[in-house]
Amino acid sequence: MAERSRNGGEGAGARERPIGRVMAQVAMVMNLDKCIGCHTCSVTCKQAWTNRSGVEYAWFNNVETRPGQGYPRTYQDQERWRGGWVRRPDGRLVPRAGGRIRRLATIFANPVMPSIQDYYEPWTYDYDTLTNAPLGDDFPVASPRSALTGKPMKVEWSANWDDDLGGGPELAAQDPIVRRLGDRVKLSFEETFMFYLPRICEHCLNPTCVAACPSGALYKRVEDGIVLVDQDRCRGWRMCVTACPYKKVYFNHKTGKAEKCTFCYPRVEVGMPTICSETCVGRLRYLGVVLYDADRVGQAASVEDEKDLYEAQLDVFLDPSDPAVRAAARRDGIPGRWVDSAVRSPVYALAKRFRVALPLHPEYRTMPMVWYVPPLSPVVDALSGTGHDGEEADNLFGAIDTLRIPVEYLAELFSAGDPAPVDLVLRRLAAMRSYMRRVNLGQERDESVAAAVGMTGSEVEDMYRLLALAKYDDRYVIPTAFGVDESDRGVIDEVGCSLDFDGGPGMGGMGDVPFGEASGRPEAASVETFHALRERQTGDGAAGEGAGGDGRDATEGRVNLLNWDGNGRPRGLFPPRRGGGTDNGGKRGPGPEPRDGGRT
């Protein structure tokens, strides 16, 4: 309360409300018009964070085709999955799955946790067959094996099984939004539309997952708003999985702990974009700082009409150019370079200045911080399909009015069903196309096109620069973390990855540990690999013959092919000889006919 009474002062006479506690959030915007659904973000994210056993099924970043069921299947159906918050008649917010008492009463078995089948059962292939199959007429096939049981399984679903509307009307009709809109969404090939929706954790301002964690392991970082799980405090109660309406907290079934998108904080801390942003082929992701008034979050999240949530959230954002905001930020300990960075933030520009980015499912009342520029392409495609000029402003405006279905669908995603904000965005995008075409054709700038959507020509050109040219430095405006020196920009603390110790989950397997997988003390990763590498590079022996050759550690005999000089027959590189043959040199054991014996 004391903070509320303190005003920022200087030159903020017109401001009605005093500025509460100013906090900074590193947020993201994705421009859906540019997403080609290539899944590069998902794959690089998986390589960076979830290529470990226990989270095979987890995709911190996934790309889903809309209309479609999403991942996990139908996660948007909150009547079933009970994620997010609900507003009680008295105006207070409680997690939809229940408040504190209810959480603890159901702690022994979470009643609405998705099962692995709702994501998909992870699998690998029996690659061994390819090399070990006896000589025969049929080409050996690596059949799928469940990663949970090791047993043969039938692959029936995965994270993007209904990609590109695969599975057709049968699968797409299960989309919770399609079900809500009813028959109006046509799923026949000629009449349908589709676009891609890449999703990561929303790093919400009002995160339900944090609220639902009985152990207090989930937290929102004060400095940059990233929502993280403290792995040492998580006790595996699984309430966060239910609470997250986006189903972006995953349960690692090997370690028994929750894991989630980290917003690649080791990279963001040193001013680098997240992996998914960095590797995005369409260059559709934007990262930047947004300053917001933390004292107003609760109030904004609990406005009565869910259609007002979008405006309420915009209202929580603070204008970093406003001197009063800058003073308040200084008061609350936000470094000057963060405020300066916020001024250049593409996220703030797209969300608040140009108003072309919208939050995903604001009706969940979590105040998500990964926003989306809805795609104009379904409209343009439909327009071009009818032989009209898809870049003429009037045509586009008319089409936005006529083609209600894509607009209504987008509104269900981005504005709690209110078509007006989506309408405005699509009109602005259409106006930008039309305005810039005149510029590119060397015609006169037509201010009326910009004015028709409430912008000026120079604003349209700024927006064009950000959306269409999208230079690297314009897309990613990330200040280095509070404690990190600017000169450390781009330098990642290599020792920091806690899972990559030798034999740890980051290196594939834990070996024999006392209390189940992933328990026990890690060894220092960099020292270990440093010595191993030096030994390989300077030693005369074959790889894997070095120190510690008693075979105690399963990973010790593993050969890094990049380091292998072709010398000898390293342990673990080839399958053991048959018939008890010794493993040295090229001498064959007295086993059966070698498989390659038929070659002449």
Partner 1 sequence: MSGFGPADLLLWGVLPYVVLVLVVGGLVWRYRYDRFGWTTRSSELYESRLLRIGSPLFHFGLLVVIAGHVVGLLVPDTWTRALGVPDTLYHVTALSLGLVAGFCTLAGIALLIWRRRTTGPVFSATTRNDKLMYAVLVLAILTGLGMTVYFAGVELAGGHTQDYRETVSPWFRSVWVLQPDIAAMAAAEAPYKLHALMGLALFTLLPFTRLVHAFSAPVGYLFRPYVLYRSRDQHPAGAGQAERATRRGW
Site for partner 1, residues 508 to 567, rule: CB under 8 A: 513-516, 518-522, 524
Q: Contacts with partner 1: how many residues (CB under 8 A)?
A: 75
Q: Which of residues 468-487 bind partner 1 (CB under 8 A)?
A: 481-483
Q: What is each CA distance from 388 to 143, 403, 411, 441, in whole angstroms?
A: 50, 14, 25, 19
Question: Any idea what DSSP says for residue 333?
Answer: T
Q: Is residue 334 within 8 Å of 326, Cβ to Cβ?
A: no
Whole-angstrom distance, CA of residue 323 vs CA of residue 417: 36
- Work out whether 207 is an interface residue with partner 1 (CB under 8 A): yes
Q: Which is nearer to partner 1, 237 or 409 (CB)?
A: 237
Q: Which of residues 295-324 bind partner 1 (CB under 8 A)?
A: none
Q: Tell me how far, at minimum, the Cβ of 84 lies from partner 1, in Å.
A: 13
- Work out whether 104 is an interface residue with partner 1 (CB under 8 A): yes
Q: Tell me how far, at minimum, the Cβ of 206 lies from partner 1, in Å.
A: 7
Q: Which of residues 358-377 bind partner 1 (CB under 8 A)?
A: none
- Work out whether 116 is an interface residue with partner 1 (CB under 8 A): yes
269: closest CA among 499, 60, 477, 479? 479
Which of residues 7, 78, 146, 192 is near partner 1 by CB under 8 A? 146
Would you state the structure tokens that stand for residue 270, as one six-digit string?
Answer: 């040193």
Which of residues 224, 322, 423, 500 is near partner 1 by CB under 8 A? 224
Binding marks (x or -) toward partner 1, 60..99, rule CB under 8 A? -----------------------------------x----
Would you state the structure tokens that stand for residue 597, as one six-digit string?
Answer: 């014996």
Q: Tell me how far, at minimum, the Cβ of 274 lies from partner 1, in Å.
A: 13
Whole-angstrom distance, CA of residue 380 vs CA of residue 105: 52
Q: Which of residues 21-60 bind partner 1 (CB under 8 A)?
A: 49
DSSP string for residues in 293-329: EGGGHHHHHT-SSGGGHHHHHHHHEE-TTSHHHHHHH
Which of residues 456, 498, 526, 560 is near partner 1 by CB under 8 A? 498
Which of residues 44, 61, 69, 262 is near partner 1 by CB under 8 A? 262
Neighbours of 169 (CB within 10 A): 16
- Work out whether 456 is an interface residue with partner 1 (CB under 8 A): no
- Work out whether 336 is an interface residue with partner 1 (CB under 8 A): no
Q: Tell me how far, at minimum, the Cβ of 109 lies from partner 1, in Å.
A: 4
Burial class (CB in 10 A: 0-12, 13-18, 19+), 139: exposed
DSSP string for residues in 97-125: T--HHHHHHTTTS-TTPPPHHHH---EEE
Q: Tell me how far, at minimum, the Cβ of 210 lies from partner 1, in Å.
A: 5
Q: Tell me how far, at minimum, the Cβ of 556 lies from partner 1, in Å.
A: 21
Whole-angstrom distance, CA of residue 101 vs CA of residue 110: 13
Q: What is each CA distance from 148 to 53, 161, 205, 523, in whole angstroms?
A: 9, 20, 35, 27
- Work out whether 328 is an interface residue with partner 1 (CB under 8 A): no
366: closest CA among 500, 244, 515, 478? 244
Q: Which is nearer to partner 1, 32 or 205 (CB)?
A: 205
Whole-angstrom distance, CA of residue 127 vs CA of residue 3: 63
Q: Tell me how far, at minimum, the Cβ of 123 lies from partner 1, in Å.
A: 12
- Work out whether 256 is an interface residue with partner 1 (CB under 8 A): yes
Q: Residue 468: how many CA atoms within 13 Å on its side-chain side?
A: 14
Whole-angstrom distance, CA of residue 53 vs CA of residue 45: 15
Q: Tell me how far, at minimum, the Cβ of 225 lies from partner 1, in Å.
A: 9
Which of residues 90, 138, 170, 232 is near partner 1 by CB under 8 A? 232
Q: Which is nearer to partner 1, 234 or 460 (CB)?
A: 234
Which of residues 100, 337, 465, 471 is near partner 1 by CB under 8 A? 100
Which of residues 145, 180, 221, 330 is near partner 1 by CB under 8 A? 221
Q: Tell me how far, at minimum, the Cβ of 71 lies from partner 1, in Å.
A: 15
Q: Tell me how far, at minimum, the Cβ of 258 lies from partner 1, in Å.
A: 9
Strand partners, 115: none
**67 cis-preceded (ω within 30 degrees of 0):** yes
Q: Which is nearer to partner 1, 82 or 260 (CB)?
A: 260
Question: SS3 for 371-436, per residue?
Answer: EEECCCHHHHHHHHHCCCCCCCHHHHHHHHHHCHHHHHHHHHHHCCCCHHHHHHHHHHHHHHHHHH
